[in-house]
């Protein structure tokens, strides 16, 4: 499977995973064996005995229970915890709801807030993200000048 984790060695400790298909149906599989190979994880699952069985799981999502997740250091968060949080500026202006986190290979993640014409892209860096409160489901940001849509419109009018 393609890895979307910063902790690929976790699979060696897991006893089971949840495999979720594109229709959101899920099934729990017992893990019989694991190994890493060329940047991917190979899982041997109980009941998946042939290549045909494995092919049926292609493009499915592999999930674990949240209590089995690796504990993160302070000020680091799992993406699934951030999605759905409201985002506001340090001045208290609501920017919308965090819908997606874009992962980049070479730089910082990017938060996607709001939708359509109201969509805002903010770099997930220390200078922009001031605080994250998962209990209140709120992220406070201090966007650099020109990142917010109304500031971009203003800059276009000035030029």
Q: Does 117 reside within a domain?
A: yes
Range of the domain at 102: 79-158
Read off the pLDDT of residues 80-123 as tens digits, 9 standing for 90 and up. Answer: 899 999 999 999 999 999 999 998 877 889 999 988 777 899 99
Query: Do both 96 and 154 map to the same domain?
Result: yes
Q: Does 94 reside within a domain?
A: yes
Q: Does 73 reside within a domain?
A: no
Q: Phi and psi at residue 77, in whole multiples of 5°? A: -140, 150
pLDDT, greater one: 153 or 122: 122
pTM over 0.85: no
Confidence of residue 138 (pLDDT cuts 50, 70, 90): very high
Confidence of residue 159 (pLDDT cuts 50, 70, 90): low
Read off the pLDDT of residues 17-30 as tens digits, 9 standing for 90 and up. Answer: 999 998 889 999 99
**Is the pLDDT assigned to residue 154 strictly greater than 90?**
no
Query: Do both 45 and 92 map to the same domain?
Result: no
Query: Do both 63 and 134 map to the same domain?
Result: no
Look at the alpha carbons of 88, 119, 142, 127 in this order and tell me if their dihedral is positive or negative: positive
Cα–Cα distance between 86 and 101 in angstroms, integer?
14
Q: Does 86 reside within a domain?
A: yes
Q: Does 74 reside within a domain?
A: no
Query: Do both 89 and 137 map to the same domain?
Result: yes
């Amino acid at each position: 499977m393609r890895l979307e984790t910063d902790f690929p060695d976790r699979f060696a400790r897991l006893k089971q995973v949840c495999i979720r298909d594109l229709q959101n149906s899920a099934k729990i599989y017992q893990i019989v064996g694991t190994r890493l190979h060329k940047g991917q994880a190979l899982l041997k699952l109980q009941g998946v005995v042939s290549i045909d069985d494995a092919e049926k799981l292609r493009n499915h999502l592999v999930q674990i229970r949240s209590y089995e997740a690796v504990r993160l250091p302070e000020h680091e968060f799992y993406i699934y915890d951030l999605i759905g949080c409201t985002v506001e500026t340090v001045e208290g202006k609501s920017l919308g709801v965090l819908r997606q986190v874009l992962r980049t290979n070479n730089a910082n993640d990017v938060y996607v807030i709001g939708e359509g014409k109201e969509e805002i892209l903010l770099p997930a860096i220390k200078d922009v993200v001031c605080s994250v409160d998962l209990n209140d489901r709120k992220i406070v940001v201090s966007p650099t000048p020109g990142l917010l849509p109304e500031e971009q419109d203003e800059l276009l009018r000035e030029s």
